[in-house]
Chain A
Amino acid sequence: MSILEEHIASSAGIGISASRPDGKEKARGDFLFSNDLSSEDMLWGQTLRSPYPSAKIKRIDYSRALAMEGVHAILTAGDVPGENIFGLEHPDQPVLAFDVVRYVGEPVAIVAANHPEVAKKAVDAIIVDYEILEPMVDSEEAIYSDPIHPEGNVIRHLVIRHGNPDVVGSIIVEGEYEVGMQDQAFLGTESGIAFPSSDGGVNLHISTQWLHSDRDQVASALNLPNELVRVSLAGVGGAFGGREDVSMHVHLCMLAMHTGRPVKMIYDRNESFLGHVHRHPAKIWFRHHADESGLLINVEAKVILDGGAYASTTSAVLANACCFSVGPYSVPNALIEGWGVRTNNPPCGAMRGFGNVQTCFAAEAQMDKIAKALSIDPVELRLLNALETGDTLITGQEITGTAPISEVLTSLASYPLPEAGTNAILELPGGTGRTTDKSHVKRGIGYAASIKNLMFSEGFDDFSEARCIITDGEVSIQSACVEVGQGFVTLVNQIVEETLGLTEVTLLPVDTSIGSAGSTSASRQTWMSGGAVLKACEAVVDALLSDLASESGISYEKIGLSLISTDGSDSIGIVSALHGRNYDEHVTHRHHPTFPLDRNGQGDAHVSFAFAAHRAVVDVDEELGLVRVVEIATSQDVGRILNPVQAKGQIEGGVAQGLGLALLEELILVDGKIVNANFTDYLLPTAMDTPPIEIAALIEQPEPGAPFGAKGIGEPPVISSTPAIVAAIRDATALELSRVPVKPEDIALTD
């Protein structure tokens, strides 16, 4: 019996494949996503965006647009009631551009009208005179060139100096790598509805990842106290990092408050690509030093991330890219230098695996180069260098938790390989295009491994609040944790069943009437909000035991968890004991503190680490440059499996996104403008592109300090799947392939 089947066989609570509580609604089409909300007297909002990557705004004339029948409001920078500036980590971006525009797509004006088409026509009728400036679109040049923003072009410069970076190895491999701009491409585009409130405030219903961060930024821009801005979660159609930043939030609220009517906005796909941050494109240089046995002795790197025009989460992405640049390996000496840079390209920020994705692609290619130079098996080389508990990262932090990298790699390598391909058309690269000749197809196999930090790092006060309310034996849970599809709603049910034995759980509306749960990102919500719900449930049990003890005169300890009774003779069980009693326990859960990095990039900056490895098998038609991924196998360090089917879903979905970055997905920029901002030209993996994803092993070594011992599982699948696929193509073709996504011309049109 596989590890998954064993878990499926258990019956209740944590560890079973409980079904999603929202599954029925979602299957019926009844689940309300943010774009499904409406109100009888609502207006439709629309945004005018800059067509230029860099320009001065000389004049805005919206008189003709405002006079159009059906147009109710047109607002520009001067109408922003509070601070015309926002930002997730620090405010540096205008709500509406006022003097200059710094990227193609930057919002300039907003419109409310009685029909979405009228709003679009009104946007088209607004006249803006721009003085066009030369854009800065090269991230390397931007470091030393004139600033495009009052805060300068270098958002963060980070140096990690560890051990003696002058050590020279007997084996030296060097390489330059690039990662293209990937997009989260969640299916439900940005949308929401804002209602003006009679108390002078506003109620915003929106799809997001972090209600309280939105609330604070909106309140500041509207010049309202936080309590007058009430943000409610509306159904989220995927997120993957792209909803962590504010997009239409302030605009909707401004239009609603100005018109006194509800205003709804839906970005179309093109606008969605313009309206949220992307994965940072990266330029990476590496020099690895190893001894003759293959042991890593020094790593040098330079990493440049293109942050686009505004900071967003560039600082945190750069920290990840640098701190974990060497991968899940023990490296005694290192000198890593990283820059997060402003350019006139579209802003970049959070996307699943942020930072780790970029450097993992490059570092894993370096590991294969060392293996090749020494004629060592790539898995053997990785095992030789694998981190263990007690080892030190290049940031000087000791790994105190679990680190089963050897187990991950060994289980993966021993998993059986898929059989040789057949001549069936659908099994050839290019598929039904029927262009591939079987004789040109070569098979390749590649491996990669990864490390991901879980939760927020560098001293951030990371917490989540939760309430467990018992009313006459019925349980309600309140948390501001955002469900984006990952299955937190299922986990809440499982936690309640595990701790209180109750199977009917009401999850209260997710809004800002409770304190923050933090962001649904960084693989953090199972630990943080799962942990908060667990603590709240445990607090109810505690209160119940105290009440029973004082009522019966029997000691709290003696009643205990499993022997709850009022007279000390019978075990009546917790469900019966709760009957007729009321509790309301409100808790705040924090992970252990982290600390900032010092000037040498050293410090205990991270909370916990998860590891994964992937093996890709590909068939490549070298003549046409076509790649078919035959299979991805993976092993992952999960701490403990809480819901096997949901774990599998996270792994399969993450691998598909890693495949997208390896072969298909890139926002292509020409002079700062995205030229493929639609689903015809931005290629997402379809079912035909996505191979069977085989789980060789989920390594369960409970993580100390983690609720239930579970590690976040959402990000690792996306990190090492990309380099494994590219390694497999290199294995088949012997090409260098130093840039992702790998395109047909990179394979077919080489000398």
Chain B
Amino acid sequence: MGIGKTSGEYELIVNGSKFSISDSWLGESLLYVLRERLGLYGSKNACEQGECGSCSVMMDDVLVCSCLVLAANAKGREIRTIESVADGDELSDVQKAFIDTGAIQCGFCTPGLLVTIHDFLDSNPEPDQSEIKEAISGNLCRCTGYGRIVEAVQLVSIRRSKRDS
């Protein structure tokens, strides 16, 4: 296709399903392939240099910026995207809290933040405010000033501890 070296065929495991990628340019990022080849548009492309966190996905349970991962290198890894966060129609507790606290405005940073916060709360279920701020400091939001987002994380933490007690 006039683009230079292509990747041949490889397989990606995304949200538990296998996808075959063929005849793609070797330089395609995981973000590009998720969006433009698999139609998973939930991961967002805001800076494409790992500064904004909008493209955050989990790769083998590690939070990564999918813009910085070559898709062909993600072969055989377990990729989980924002599209796997809700359970069917049922939103996750973090998604619900985002709506309840007004943490969503334009919504472009939202998917990346949700992936990040799910990962963060798994490892730190009762964070204080500065821990929350540090955990989300790799995700830029231009609309909210972060106040509602921090409140959403606090709300999830409270709701989870009530549920578990």
Taking Cβ atoms with an 8 Å cutoff, the residues of A that contact B are: 17, 19-20, 22-24, 26-33, 35-36, 38, 68-71, 113-115, 117-118, 121, 184-189, 235-240, 266, 268-269, 424, 426-427, 432, 484-487, 645-646, 648-649, 651-657, 678-680, 684-688, 690, 692-693
Contact = CB atoms under 8 A, between A and B. Distances in A.
B91 A27 contact: yes
A69 B132 CA distance: 49
Given A36-B41, A653-B142, 10 more contacts: A24-B91, A188-B108, A238-B108, A269-B47, A648-B102, A657-B142, A679-B46, A688-B133, A690-B145, A692-B147
A19 B1 contact: no
21 contacts: A20-B102, A23-B98, A27-B95, A27-B98, A27-B114, A28-B86, A29-B81, A31-B107, A38-B36, A187-B142, A266-B45, A268-B48, A484-B106, A648-B147, A648-B148, A651-B145, A652-B147, A653-B105, A653-B144, A686-B146, A687-B139
B10 interface: no
A115 B148 CA distance: 39
Contact of B145 (A69, A185, A652, A679): A652
A456 to B, nearest CB: 23
A485 B145 CA distance: 13
B100 interface: yes
Contact of A28 (B43, B91, B105, B140): B91
Contacts of A646: 102
B151 to A, nearest CB: 10
A185 B46 CA distance: 10
A17 B102 contact: yes
B109 A187 contact: yes
Contacts of B110: 26-27, 29
Nearest to B82: A29
B146 A656 contact: yes
Contacts of A70: 1-3
Contact of A27 (B41, B48, B49, B99): B99
Nearest to B150: A687
B44 to A, nearest CB: 7
Contacts of B54: 187
B83 interface: yes
Contacts of A686: 137-138, 140, 146
Residue with the greatest number of chain B CB neighbours at <10 A, chosen from A29, A485, A645, A690: A29
A485 B143 contact: yes
Interface of B: 1-3, 25, 27, 35-36, 39, 41-49, 51-52, 54, 81-83, 85-86, 91, 95-96, 98-102, 104-111, 114, 130, 132-134, 136-150
Residue with the greatest number of chain A CB neighbours at <10 A, chosen from B45, B96, B142: B142
B104 A27 contact: yes
A269 B46 contact: yes
B3 A185 contact: no
Contacts of A36: 35, 41
Nearest to B107: A26
Given A19-B99, A652-B146, A115 B1 contact: yes
Given A646-B102, A688-B133, A238 B143 contact: yes
Contacts of B108: 33, 186-188, 237-238
B27 to A, nearest CB: 7
B105 A487 contact: yes
Given A32-B41, A656-B145, A687-B146, A432 B52 contact: no
A257 to B, nearest CB: 23
B140 A68 contact: no
A316 to B, nearest CB: 23
A33 B45 CA distance: 11
A210 B159 CA distance: 41
Contacts of B3: 70, 115, 117-118, 121
B147 A678 contact: no
Residue with the greatest number of chain A CB neighbours at <10 A, chosen from B1, B49, B95, B106: B106
